[in-house]
């Protein structure tokens, strides 16, 4: 444990590995929130990236289909190990029943217990808990090391490349949910300079923003949340910015007044 702790503090590779694990967890947690309450989705399909870096575990899991409420997913919903790139796709019951009987039978015979007992796949199954209880934020210490090694933009780029479609869907879902009057009132209370732009913000911030960005937002707890940020130009120097989680709840949790000069200094990627 001490060796790992030391390695994580001084080795940029370990930091990037840790970040990739967290972001794949966040990505798949976000994916889960989109399907959990969708009645049309009844089955999940494990989808592996098949290349020279694919583990034996993910090769055996690739294409496995189980009901979305099957206990199997409590242990094998990806990611399942370090640098795991697997995701899940979805099927309706009609799509599932249209599959060849042999494919359905092969999936039914895949046992999590057998995979864990196998010498190779059992060792490769490093993450055994649901992503719903895994970390979605980055601790302050981890972000500090990312900044120290100049990795912040790189890991943003990695996250965006891995979850471009999900980020776009998340931005659309946030815009569709809209900005609550309570959230806007709280924002104006904290930043009175927003008051002259109240109507403009309510009408345009989410539906017609000038930019939608993917960036890290420092929370009051000191942790950093991957977020989608809707930016609206209020005047030459002031921007209204709405913040929502990039991989979780679609509710806007904060609206802030930020000077363009300050906003331009943060690291980000444009979502659209």
Where along the chain do its domains lie?
2-135, 154-270
In degrees, rounded to 5, the angle at the alpha carbon of residue 266 between the alpha carbons of residues 264 and 269 is 90
Q: Is pLDDT larger for residue 70 or for residue 11?
A: 70
Which structure tokens are listed for 74?
Answer: 């409590």
* Distances 240 to 135, 150, 181, 254, 261 between C-alpha atoms, Å: 29, 28, 15, 11, 13
Check whether the bond before 7 is cis (ω within 30° of 0). Answer: no
Average pLDDT, the chain: 84
> What is the pLDDT at residue 27?
61
Q: Which long-range contacts (CB under 8 A, 24 or more apart) does 94-101 make?
A: 95/43, 96/42, 96/43, 96/65, 99/65
pLDDT tens for 29-39 read 666 666 765 77
Q: Is pLDDT larger for residue 74 or for residue 162?
A: 74
> What is the pLDDT at residue 38?
73
Residue 178 CB: number of other CB atoms within 10 A?
Answer: 14
pLDDT tens for 14-24 read 555 666 666 66
* Distances 122 to 18, 117, 189, 219, 222 between C-alpha atoms, Å: 21, 6, 54, 37, 36
Kindly indicate the confidence band of residue 10, based on its pLDDT and cuts at 50, 70 and 90.
very low
Q: Is pLDDT larger for residue 145 or for residue 215?
A: 215
> What is the pLDDT at residue 19?
62
> What is the pLDDT at residue 5?
44
User: Distance between CA 104 and CA 108 in Å, rounded?
Assistant: 6
Three-state SS for 151? coil
> What is the pLDDT at residue 8?
43
Q: Is pLDDT larger for residue 265 or for residue 65?
A: 65
pLDDT tens for 143-201 read 787 787 787 887 788 778 767 888 898 999 999 999 999 999 999 999 999 999 999 99
Kindly indicate the confidence band of residue 129, based on its pLDDT and cuts at 50, 70 and 90.
low
The answer to whether 43 and 93 are in contact (CB under 8 A) is yes
Kindly indicate the confidence band of residue 142, based on its pLDDT and cuts at 50, 70 and 90.
confident
Predicted confidence (pLDDT) at residue 74 exceeds the cutoff of 60: yes
Stretch 252-261: mean pLDDT: 96
User: Distance between CA 214 and CA 174 in Å, rounded?
Assistant: 13
């Amino acid at each position: 444990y001490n060796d790992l702790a030391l390695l994580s503090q001084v080795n940029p590779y370990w930091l990037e590995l840790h970040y990739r694990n967290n972001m794949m967890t966040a990505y798949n947690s976000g994916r889960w929130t989109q399907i959990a309450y969708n009645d049309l989705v009844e089955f999940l399909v494990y989808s592996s990236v098949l290349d020279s870096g694919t583990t034996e575990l993910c090769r055996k899991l690739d294409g496995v289909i189980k009901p979305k409420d099957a206990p199997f997913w409590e242990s094998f919903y990806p990611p399942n190990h370090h640098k795991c790139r697997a995701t899940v796709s979805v099927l309706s019951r009609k799509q599932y029943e249209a599959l060849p009987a042999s494919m359905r039978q092969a999936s039914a015979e895949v046992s999590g217990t057998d995979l864990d007992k196998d010498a190779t796949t059992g060792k490769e199954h490093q993450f055994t808990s649901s992503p719903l209880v895994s970390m979605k934020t980055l601790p302050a210490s981890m972000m500090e090391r990312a900044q120290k090694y100049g990795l912040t933009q790189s890991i943003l780029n990695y996250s965006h490349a891995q979850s471009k479609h999900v980020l776009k869907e998340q931005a659309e879902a946030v815009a569709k949910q809209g900005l609550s009057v309570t959230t806007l009132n709280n924002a104006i209370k904290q930043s009175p300079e927003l008051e002259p732009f109240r109507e403009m913000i309510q009408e345009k911030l989410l539906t017609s923003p000038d930019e939608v960005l993917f960036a890290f937002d420092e929370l009051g707890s000191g942790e950093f949340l991957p977020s989608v940020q809707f930016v609206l130009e209020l005047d030459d120097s002031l921007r209204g910015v709405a913040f929502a989680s990039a991989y979780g709840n679609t509710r806007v949790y904060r609206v802030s007044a930020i000077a363009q000069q300050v906003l331009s200094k943060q690291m980000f990627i444009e979502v659209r």
